[in-house]
A and B are shown apart, each in its own frame.
Chain A
Amino acid sequence: MIKNFLISEKEFISIMKSCLNKNNKKITTVENRINIALAGNPNVGKSVIFNQLTGLSQTIGNWPGKTVERMEGHLKFLGHYINIVDLPGIYSLSTYSLEEIVSREYIASDELDIIINVVDATNLERNLFLTFQLLELKIPIIIAVNQMDILRKRNKEINFEYFESIFKVPVIPVVAVHGIGVHQLLEEAIELIYQQEFHPHQKEHKLKSRTHHHQSFKMKQVYEQLKSQSSFKKIFNFPDLSSLLSFGKEVEEKIELLTTSLENKTENMVKNQYPSRFLALKIIENDKEIKNLILEEGHYSEIIKISGEYRKELEDYHGEDISTIISSEIYLNINKILDEILIIKSKKDTKKETLTDMFDHITTHSIWGYVILALILIGIYLFTFIIGDFVGGKIDELYVNLSININTDSIIAKILWEGALGGFFSAVGSVLVYVIPFFLMIEILQDSGYLPRAAFLLDKFMHVLGVHGKTIITMILGFGCNVPACAGCRIMETEREKKISVALTSLVPCAATMVVVMGLVGEYLGLGYVGILFIINFLVIILVGRILNKTMPGECTELIMEMHEYRKPNTKVIMKQTWKRSREFILKSLPIIIIIGISLEVMYIFSLLDPVNFILSPITVFCLGLPAVTGVFLIYGILRKELTFALLEVLAISIGVGSVSFLLSPIQMFVFSLVTMLYIPCFTTIIMIAKQTNWKYALQISLLEITIAIIIGTLINWGYVLIISV
């Protein structure tokens, strides 16, 4: 039906083009690019819907000037170019977190045409809280009720007819993981644009009348868009929801008064962006961002003053904080309709202990919880090590077999063979074989929903370091790679906690560091010494946490975290994520290792390494007791940590000793690995720390870590020397 219509639309557009004589590009972008945002609570299935719709054509960026990730995807649907933004999960439209601010600003921006509000069918009450706030923004909205499969398993159903009739917007049942209802969301979105308003309860009638409506409407709409360049939502006929959204008498009175005085201001720019009632609500809630927006325009100090009086009146009357009053009102409204929406088919006791409950019980147990946490972390390392060791061994054999048949007499052949190919093989055989299984394990851990349990168990301990339990989540992710983990520190609520969190997270030994530790200490000294290295690293994390907690003003905030249910990790999601990360690693790491391998080979042949090594030798040779060559490796290691080991291997190959054990003594291996673990966050991590905080702080942290690494390395080296000599 829509397709039929599109033909005429195309004709229409071509006529418009010639009439208005504008350039083609502009017309096609204005004509049918639809901007849709997915908004909803965390963990409701937004990303699954997003992936179902956009598949591989996704781009990850940042919100301008913010450290919040912006996921954007594109698709062509029924002849329309559709642009979808997967907004970060939020619980409300206040400004508690950066995510909420980003979401609110994007939703209010002219760019957006339609919101798809994804709600979790099994948790409607809490999810509708956000929906009610979104409705206040008067933006075309479609409600996607996801996870219907789980709801039905619990013998419950949703009365969609009733739902639509009171919300007066499309409400669609969805099972995102099976793709059910997902594309209907887009159909509904396109319909909404054609219709300009939503008519519930006319399904059959609608089908007939629509085509007719569309044509005349679409002509008008496209024409107007071309003329005014204003977005679709401006001309959208938002339904009247005042009976659904109105509050109790006292609150409603005040809000109406404020709304009227806002509306009477003619020179109101903010009013173009937000509905007056929404502004009134936010002003009375004492929302800083909105208050600033309004004050910037001047002439509003009076309204702000009045709103302050209103707020005080309400707070005195109810004896509650204003945010509590407003939230209670919203929940009251939700509960008024919830009984009608949610149909409970059978009162079968749903409380019976399920498998996940049992799992939950064990993993948060006061003894077993910690045992399991330790086992999981050790298990990840062992798994990675066993797989990596096995596959790496096979690749080494291959390289040796190849080497026998190659004659490396000429300098060029030597450079290419030993530098480039040696670099390649050490990258694949000693680095990738560990990194890929490692990423896989981290993904499984993350997707299973385990991580909040770790935060629950260790919250108390983390307070000693000046942060709350959520930091443990970024730290565990840091085992994979520090860079995204540090980016994840944005979930911390205050500046202080973010600063401490990035510092602690950057000290976690990442997959690349693990390559060095396992390749040297694990391979030649045994796992016991790896354990000692980890304990030292752990103590350094505590030390740094204590230092930062003592020196930074302020105190740590309290944990507020939703404990999502366990779920069976989704194989497809995990494979895709692992591949995404590994590909990134390959693309970034492999060329660097090969190029640096070549350059190192060249420098080695022409003895250019010596000056650098000489300058660093007071530290490397005197303090740490390492061979002078390691100086340059440690410099390269700042780029990527695995380079310190990979280059050592390349060197071993190129001077023909074959094994690293001829280059370093056991104690040197231990100190070298320790220094690599601690001495500095890698270059990309430093950039990420600076992005999350500032450059000064990033450099301070780097310096602190270098100092600590040198001190501990020196102590161990000289301690060992003393013991030996006694």
Chain B
Amino acid sequence: MDIIDKKSIMNNNNNNSLTKCLGECEIGDELEVIKVDAGGSATQRLASLGIVPGVKIIKSRSAPFNGPIEIIVKGTKIVLGRGLVSKIIVSCNNSCNL
């Protein structure tokens, strides 16, 4: 069984959904993780917390002064440092405006 169905992601991209990094999304957006590219151990940690391609997340909060952001993954809130945020590529189907 394939882990992520790449074709469906491509399709998603065509069907008026946008791919961008987590940092660029708005608070409250419901997103789907497309790619995590944070380097060995951080990727592993994120994966064990359920942040893997294909998973649905919500960007719930952002700390002031361009600080870390909080996302909701599988019902738990996870805080990610700003440096990681740019390494997580997501797609959002609605309410995204660049």
Given contacts A96-B48, A469-B68, contact A460 B82 (CB under 8 A): yes
B50 in contact (CB, < 8 A):
yes
- A281 to B: closest C-beta gap in Å: 13
| Chain B proximity mask over A366-384: 1 for CB below 8 Å, otherwise 0 | 1101000000000000000
CA of A126 to CA of B61, assembled, Å = 21
Given known contacts A96-B45, A460-B63, is B4 in contact with A328 (CB within 8 Å)?
Answer: yes
Contact A559 B68, CB 8 Å, known A323-B43, A324-B43, A324-B53: yes
Cβ A456 vs Cβ B67 within 8 A: yes
Interface string of B40-69 (1 = CB under 8 A from A): 111111111110111100000101111110
Whether A526 sits at the interface, judged by CB under 8 Å, is no
B79 A561 Cβ-Cβ under 8 A: yes
Give the CA-CA distance A563 to B73 in the complex, in Å: 11
> Which B residues are in CB contact (< 8 Å) with A94?
44, 48
Complex CA distance for A94 and B42, rounded to whole angstroms:
12
Binds B, one of A314-322, A389-397, A430-438, A530-538: A314-322
In the complex, the answer to whether B50 meets A129 with C-beta atoms within 8 Å is: yes
B1 in contact (CB, < 8 A) = yes
CA distance A490 to B36 in the complex (A): 26
Interface centre among B3, B42, B66 (most CB of A within 10 A): B3
Query: Which residues of A are found within 8 Å of B73, using beta-carbon distances?
Result: 126
**Residue A557 CB within 8 A of the other chain:** yes
Q: Does B64 contact A123, Cβ atoms closer than 8 Å?
A: no
Q: A92-B48, A96-B41, A328-B53 are in contact. Are A563 and B3 (CB under 8 A)?
A: no
Task: List A contacts of B49 (CB < 8 A).
Answer: 91, 126, 560, 562
- Could you tell me if A328 and B81 are in contact, using CB atoms closer than 8 angstroms? no
- Bits for A529-564, please: 1 = Cβ < 8 Å to B, else 0: 000000000000000000000000000011111111
A318-338 contact mask (Cβ, 8 Å, vs B): 1 or 0: 111101111111011000000
Indicate if the CB atoms of B40 and A321 lie closer than 8 Å.
yes
CB neighbours (8 Å) of A327 from chain B are 44, 47-48, 50, 52
Instruction: Please give the distance in Å from B12's CB to the nearest CB on chain A.
Output: 16
Answer yes or no: B70 CB below 8 A from chain A CBs: yes
* B79 in contact with A560 (CB, 8 Å): yes
Inter-subunit contact A96/B44 (CB<8 Å): yes
Residues on A with C-beta less than 8 A from B61 are 364, 456
In this assembly, does A137 line the interface, its C-beta being within 8 Å of a C-beta of chain B? no
The residue among A326, A327, A329, A452 with the most chain B CB atoms within 10 A of its own CB is A327
With both chains docked as a complex, state the minimum distance between the C-beta of B80 and any C-beta of chain A, in angstroms.
6
Which chain A residues in 305-357 approach chain B with CB under 8 Å? 318-321, 323-329, 331-332
The smallest C-beta distance from B36 to any residue of chain A, in angstroms, reads 6
Give complex CA distance A421, B9 in Å: 77
Report whether A364 and B63 are in contact in the complex, using a CB–CB cutoff of 8 Å: yes
**A325: B residues at CB distance < 8 A:** 3
Q: List B22-36 residues whose CB lies under 8 Å from chain A.
A: 35-36
Q: Provide the residues of chain A in CB contact with B70, threshold 8 Å.
A: 364, 456, 563
With beta carbons under 8 angstroms apart, the residue of B43, B50, B75, B78 that contacts A331 is B50
Interface size on B, residues (CB 8 A): 44
Evaluate contact between B4 and A318: CB separation under 8 angstroms: yes
**Which A residue sits closest to B48, measured CB to CB?**
A92
A459 near B68: Cβ-Cβ < 8 Å: yes
Q: Please, what's the 1-or-0 string for A564-595, where 1 marks a CB less than 8 Å from any CB in chain B?
A: 11000000000000000000000000000000
The winner among A96, A319, A455, A560 for most chain B CB atoms within 10 A is A560
Which of A248, A320, A469, A557 makes the CB contact (< 8 A) with B42? A557
A-B contact count (CB 8 A): 147
Question: Which of A248, A320, A562 contacts B77 (CB under 8 A)?
Answer: A562
Instruction: Write the chain A residue with the least CB distance to B70.
Output: A563
**Is the CB–CB distance between B52 and A324 below 8 Å?**
yes
The minimal Cβ–Cβ distance linking A722 to chain B, given in whole angstroms, is 39
When distances are taken between beta carbons in the complex, the residues of chain B under 8 Å from A562 are 49, 76-79
Complex Cα gap A43–B42 (Å): 21
Please measure, in the bound complex, the distance between the C-alpha atom of A559 and the C-alpha atom of B71, giving whole angstroms. 13
A562–B84 alpha-carbon span in the complex (Å): 15
Could you tell me if A460 and B75 are in contact, using CB atoms closer than 8 angstroms? no
Contact B45 A560 (CB under 8 A): yes
Q: How far is the CB of A362 from chain B (nearest CB, A)?
A: 12
Cβ-defined contact, B47 with A563, below 8 A: no
Nearest Cβ in chain A — how far from B16, in angstroms? Answer: 24
Determine whether the beta carbon of A122 is less than 8 Å from that of B75.
Answer: yes
A126 touches B76 (CB 8 A): yes
Interface centre among B45, B46, B48, B68, by most A CB within 10 Å? B48
Contact of A456 with B68 in the complex, beta carbons under 8 Å: yes
B residues in contact with A320, CB < 8 Å: 3-4, 35, 53
Evaluate contact between A123 and B75: CB separation under 8 angstroms.
yes
A233 at the interface (CB under 8 A from B): no
Interface string of A93-135 (1 = CB under 8 A from B): 0101000000000000000000000000011011001000000
Is the pair B76, A328 in contact by a Cβ cutoff of 8 Å? no
Shortest beta-carbon distance from A441 to chain B in Å: 25
For the complex formed, measure the closest distance between the CB of A433 and the CB atoms of chain B, giving whole angstroms: 38
CB of A563 within 8 A of CB of B79, answer yes
Q: A455 touching B47 by the CB < 8 A rule?
A: no
Task: With both chains docked as a complex, state the minimum distance between the C-beta of A615 and any C-beta of chain B, in angstroms.
Answer: 49
Task: Decide if A616 is an interface residue (CB 8 Å cutoff).
Answer: no
Q: Is A249 an interface residue (CB 8 A)?
A: yes
Contacts of B47 in A (CB 8 A): 321, 323-324, 326-328
Interchain nearest-CB distance for B90 vs A (Å): 15
Task: Report the separation of the CA atoms of residues A620 and B81 in the bound assembly, to the nearest whole angstrom.
Answer: 45
In the complex, the answer to whether B77 meets A563 with C-beta atoms within 8 Å is yes
**Highest count of chain A CB atoms <10 Å: which of B46, B63, B84:** B63
Question: A457 at interface (Cβ–Cβ under 8 A)?
Answer: yes
User: A452 vs B83: C-alpha distance in the bound complex, in angstroms?
Assistant: 18
Q: How far is the CA of A365 from the CA of B73 in the complex (A)?
A: 21
Are A328 and B52 neighbours in the complex by a CB distance under 8 Å?
Answer: yes
Complex Cα distance, B83 from A649, in Å, reads: 51
Contact across chains for A321 and B43 when beta carbons are under 8 A apart: yes
**Which partner residue on chain B sits nearest A494 by CB separation?**
B41
CA distance in complex: A564, B76 (Å) = 8
Asked if B4 and A459 make an inter-chain contact with CB atoms under 8 angstroms apart, the answer reads: no
Does A214 sit at the interface, judged by CB under 8 A? no
Complex-state Cα separation, A472 to B6, whole angstroms:
41
**Does any Cβ of B come within 8 Å of A468's Cβ?**
yes
Please list the 4 inter-chain residue pairs (A to B) with the smallest Cβ-Cβ separation, ordered nearest first. A558-B81, A327-B47, A366-B64, A559-B81
On B, residues with C-beta under 8 Å from A are: 1-4, 6, 35-38, 40-50, 52-55, 61, 63-68, 70, 73-84
Q: A366-B63, A457-B63, A562-B78 are in contact. List 5 more A-B contacts (CB 8 A).
A: A321-B44, A364-B70, A457-B67, A561-B78, A563-B76
